[in-house]
Amino acid sequence: MSTPERLIDSTRELLWERGYVGTSPKAILERAGAGQGSMYHHFKGKPDLALAAIRRTAEEMRATAEAVLDGPGTPYERIEAYLLRERDVLRGCPIGRLTMDPEVVASSELRAPVDQTLDWLRERLARIVEEGREQGQFAASLDGEEIAAAVLATVQGGYVLARASGSPAAFDTAVRGLLSLLAPHENHDRPA
Amino acid sequence: MSTPERLIDSTRELLWERGYVGTSPKAILERAGAGQGSMYHHFKGKPDLALAAIRRTAEEMRATAEAVLDGPGTPYERIEAYLLRERDVLRGCPIGRLTMDPEVVASSELRAPVDQTLDWLRERLARIVEEGREQGQFAASLDGEEIAAAVLATVQGGYVLARASGSPAAFDTAVRGLLSLLAPHENHDRPA
DNA sequence: GTCTATAGACGGATAGAC
DNA sequence: GTCTATCCGTCTATAGAC
Query: Could you read off the pLDDT of A34-71 as tens digits, one per residue?
Result: 999 999 999 999 999 999 999 999 999 999 999 999 99
Residue A68 near residue A81, CB atoms below 8 Å: yes
Statement: the CB of A116 is under 7 Å from strand D: no
Residue B117 near residue B95, CB atoms below 8 Å: yes
pLDDT band at B139 (very low <50, low <70, confident <90, very high): very high
Whether residue A41 lies inside any domain: the answer is yes
The minimal CB distance from B181 to the residues A114, A155, A181 is found for A181
Segment B19-39 mean pLDDT: 98
Whether residue A191 lies inside any domain: the answer is no
Q: How many CB atoms lie within 10 A of CB A106?
A: 10
For chain B, what is the domain count?
1
Given a cut of 80, is residue A189 above it in pLDDT? no
Whether residue B73 lies inside any domain: the answer is yes
Distance CA A161, CA B119 (A): 9
Distance CA A152, CA A118 (A): 8
Whether residue A192 lies inside any domain: the answer is no
Given a cut of 80, is residue B185 above it in pLDDT? no
Contacts of B83 (CB under 8 A, 6+ apart): B151, B154, B155, B175, B178, B179
Distance CA B56, CA A182 (A): 37
pLDDT band at A102 (very low <50, low <70, confident <90, very high): very high
Segment A66-84 mean pLDDT: 98
Segment B72-83 mean pLDDT: 98
pLDDT reported for residue B192: 42
Q: Which nucleotides of C are covered by protein (CB under 7 A)?
A: 1-6, 10-17
Given a cut of 90, is residue A11 above it in pLDDT? yes
pLDDT reported for residue A105: 98
Instruction: State the Cα torsion A125-A131-A135-A141 to the nearest 10°.
Output: 70
Whether residue B45 lies inside any domain: the answer is no
Residue A15 near residue A50, CB atoms below 8 Å: yes
The minimal CB distance from A160 to the residues B22, B99, B178 is found for B99
Q: How many CB atoms lie within 10 A of CB B79?
A: 24
Distance CA B26, CA B24 (A): 5
- CA separation, residue A21 to residues A52, A106, B1, B58, B79 (Å): 16, 12, 31, 24, 36
Distance CA A160, CA A121 (A): 19
Single-letter residue type at A179: L
Segment A157-175 mean pLDDT: 99
Segment A107-117 mean pLDDT: 98
Q: Does B188 touch chain A (CB under 8 A)?
A: no
pLDDT reported for residue A112: 98
CATH of the domain at B75: 1.10.357.10
CB contact under 8 Å between A185 and B170, yes or no, is: no
pLDDT band at A186 (very low <50, low <70, confident <90, very high): low
Report residue B86: phi and psi, to 5°.
Answer: -60, 135
Domain with B158, as residue range(s), is: 56-182
Whether residue A99 lies inside any domain: the answer is yes
Whether residue B165 lies inside any domain: the answer is yes
Q: Which nucleotides of D are covered by protein (CB under 7 A)?
A: 1-6, 10-17
pLDDT band at B43 (very low <50, low <70, confident <90, very high): very high
Segment A121-146 mean pLDDT: 97
The minimal CB distance from B146 to the residues A147, A163, A176 is found for A176
Statement: the CB of B27 is under 7 Å from strand D: yes
pLDDT reported for residue B188: 44
Q: Does B191 touch chain A (CB under 8 A)?
A: no
pLDDT band at B186 (very low <50, low <70, confident <90, very high): low
Whether residue A33 lies inside any domain: the answer is yes
DSSP H/E element including B66: helix B46-69
